[in-house]
Amino acid sequence: RELYEEKLRNASPDERAKLKQRAKRLEQRNKKRKRFQGQSEERRQRLRKAFKKLLGQLTPDERQALRQLPPEQRRQRIQGLIKENRRQFVARRLNDLPPDVRRQLEERLQGLEGKQRLRATRKAVMDYVRREGQRIQRDESLTPEQRREKLKALRNRYLPQRWRQELARKAAKGKRPAVGKGKPGKPGKADGKAGKAGESDQAERARRLKERRQRELRERRQQELRERRQRRRGTR
């Protein structure tokens, strides 16, 4: 810090402006690094894998040109690649939907860009898959095996693997039910009552915790009783 202040005092106005810009970039980079390190190991691995896949889409000449760019231009170029990849991802998700659903969604997405557009697309696709899952559950002409196959095909067609994995994790934690996991004949129970599922899971965890504590207390008392008996035998 002292060296930086000394450089500022001895620098010309142009050099001082460059030094301040560089210090600002370093501060932003450190914030991003801390934010990245604060993520879970699973998310860090997923981000590294996604970034590696993004760079792998470039040709060898493009990767070489990217490495030769100055740091600031390289950062801007990478940000542009991320935005373009996000735009293509949203376009693929939209193209997968039926035409009428796609037109309605495109109207809702007008004016949204970047992450906001991605989040809105994700929510719309999830809602569509959930509605279709409820419709399949209500179809009494299907056998249980046919329902399972149709629900599986529905999820695999419209939801990327990462979205399916996230839904499964949330369903396991009781935060949100997996799409189309309810019982036949009760549409919406698995798709519209995540709160009750979460409450039942919490009650089950509380019951197990209470039983474990009671078991530990009994074992501790039995151990104390055995120790007292051993001490009595030793004094005789």
pTM for this entry: 0.47
Largest CA distance in the chain: 93
Residue 235's pLDDT is 62
Strands (E), 146-227: none
Tell me what percent of the residues of the chain surpass a pLDDT of 70.
79
How do residues 65-81 score in pLDDT, each as one tens digit? 888 888 888 888 888 88
Q: Is 151 left (phi over 0), alpha (psi -120 to 50) or beta?
A: alpha
Closest CA relative to residue 203, chosen from 193, 191, 195, 213: 195
- Given a cut of 70, is residue 2 above it in pLDDT? no
What does the domain layout of the chain look like in residue ranges? 1-36, 49-87, 97-182
Alpha carbons 124 and 109: distance in angstroms, whole number: 10
Mean pLDDT of 177-202: 47
